[in-house]
């Protein structure tokens, strides 16, 4: 593996509470100064390489996006020596080419969330600390994911602005129109503060997003769970292919 992928973690979102094909070697319930992570950390081998897996919403899927303890999740992975994180996210599509079952490897994001613990740099500190967050995703890891998608002939986009909304409700059509005017291509609820917290701990972080529905107002139909589940069933296989290829070639 490259230096940046010495120890890789995968954070699985909706549709990925377990990592198929992972040869599990250990499972740990850990604690952090920020509380317990969403689920036990699962250690194993995938594609012949060591990997740590964490179910973002718990297993079973039970923690809504606005109640995920992102600070504990990221800190727990750092404690285990993880250096690189791939966050898998289920998202809605705004851009015309980013429909259901399409894979997106975003290069930017905009945070529309509120009331979430979004930094480790608070409380009694010796000095105010800022991080550069101009480019929120690690380019080396992004390129690894892009090469994996190309090798498996997956329908994907190698760019995208991820709009992170508060949830757990889906957005209104007017809100989606606003996000589109802001330049967003996909909408999710879990990309932040996850990416920023990883950056504060000097972890390489990239997002692998699966579009599971058209965003509100992009079609005449309402969004249904049946539609989302169908896209997950169709597209999560692509996500797993990309993950295995990235880990194997990384």
119 has pLDDT over 50: yes
Task: Give me Rg for the CA atoms of the chain.
Answer: 17
Q: What angle do CA 153, 157, 159 make, to 5 degrees?
A: 145
pLDDT at 19: 66
> Greater confidence, 38 or 235?
38
Of residues 24 and 140, more confidently modeled: 140
Closest CA to 83 of 57, 56, 106, 50: 50
Q: Angle at Cα 112 formed by Cα 221 and Cα 212, nearest 5°?
A: 35
* pTM (two decimals): 0.92
Q: What is the DSSP string of 81-95?
A: T--EEEEEEEEEE-S
Q: Token pair for residue 87?
A: 């966050």
Domain coordinates of the chain in residue numbers? 3-123+131-249
Cβ proximity of 174 and 199 under 8 Å? no
Share of the chain above pLDDT 90, in %: 72
pLDDT over 90 (residue 4)? no
SS (H, E, C) 168-231: CCCCCHHHHHHHHHCCCCEEECCCCCHHHHHHHCCCEEEEEEEEEEECCCCCCCCCCHHHHHHH
Residues in the chain: 250
pLDDT in tens, 178-231: 999 999 999 999 999 999 999 999 999 999 999 999 999 999 888 887 888 888
Q: What pLDDT score was predicted for residue 111?
A: 98
* Spatial CA neighbour of 93 closest among 225, 211, 222, 249: 211
| 112 neighbors 164 (Cβ within 8 angstroms) | yes
Q: Is the pLDDT of residue 2 over 50?
A: no
Is there a binding annotation on residue 213?
Answer: yes
The answer to whether 231 is a known ligand-binding residue is no
Residue 169 among known ligand-binding residues: no
The span from the CA of 146 to the CA of 159, in Å, is 10
Residue with tokens 């404690």: 79
The arithmetic mean of pLDDT across residues 96-116, rounded, is 97
Ligand-binding site membership of 219 (annotated): no
Residue 19 or residue 80, greater confidence: 80
How far apart (Å, rounded) are the C-alpha atoms in residues 89 and 14? Answer: 7
Position 101 confidence tier, pLDDT thresholds 50, 70, 90? very high
Instruction: Identify the pLDDT of residue 89.
Output: 95
Tell me if the bond preceding 125 is cis, omega within 30° of 0: no
Task: Say how many Å lie between the first and final Cα of the chain, rounded.
Answer: 5
d(C-alpha 192, C-alpha 198), whole Å: 10
Helix, strand and coil in the chain, % to nearest 5: 30, 25, 45
Residue 14 counted as an annotated binding residue: yes
Q: What CATH topology corresponds to 3-123+131-249?
A: Rossmann fold (3.40.50)
Q: What is the pLDDT of residues 146-180, one digit of tens each?
A: 999 999 888 999 999 999 999 999 999 999 999 99
Tell me the mean pLDDT in the region 133-156. 95
Per-residue pLDDT tens for 38-52?
999 999 988 778 899
Tell me if 214 is assigned to a ligand binding site. yes
């Amino acid at each position: 593996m490259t230096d940046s992928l010495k120890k890789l973690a995968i954070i699985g979102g909706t549709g990925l509470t377990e990592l198929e094909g992972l040869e599990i070697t250990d499972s740990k319930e850990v604690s952090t100064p920020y509380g317990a992570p969403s689920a036990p950390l699962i250690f194993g081998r995938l594609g012949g390489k060591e990997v740590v897996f964490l179910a973002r919403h718990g297993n079973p899927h039970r923690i809504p996006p606005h109640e995920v303890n992102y600070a504990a999740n990221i800190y727990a992975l750092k404690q285990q020596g993880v250096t690189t994180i791939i966050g898998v996210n289920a998202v809605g599509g705004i851009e015309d080419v980013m429909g259901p079952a399409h894979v997106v490897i975003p290069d930017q994001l905009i945070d529309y969330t509120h009331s979430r613990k979004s930094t480790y740099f608070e409380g009694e500190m010796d000095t105010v600390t800022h991080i550069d967050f101009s480019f929120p995703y690690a380019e080396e890891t992004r390129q690894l994911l892009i090469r994996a998608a190309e090798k498996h002939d997956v329908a994907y986009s190698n760019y995208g602005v991820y709009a992170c909304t508060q949830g757990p409700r889906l957005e209104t059509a007017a809100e989606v129109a606003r996000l589109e005017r802001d330049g967003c291509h996909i909408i999710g609820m879990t990309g932040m503060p996850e990416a920023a917290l990883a950056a504060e701990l000097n972890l390489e972080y990239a997002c692998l997003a699966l579009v599971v529905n058209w965003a509100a107002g992009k079609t005449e139909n309402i969004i249904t769970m049946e539609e989302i589940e169908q896209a997950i069933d169709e597209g999560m296989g692509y996500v797993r292919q990309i993950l295995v290829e990235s880990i194997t070639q990384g």
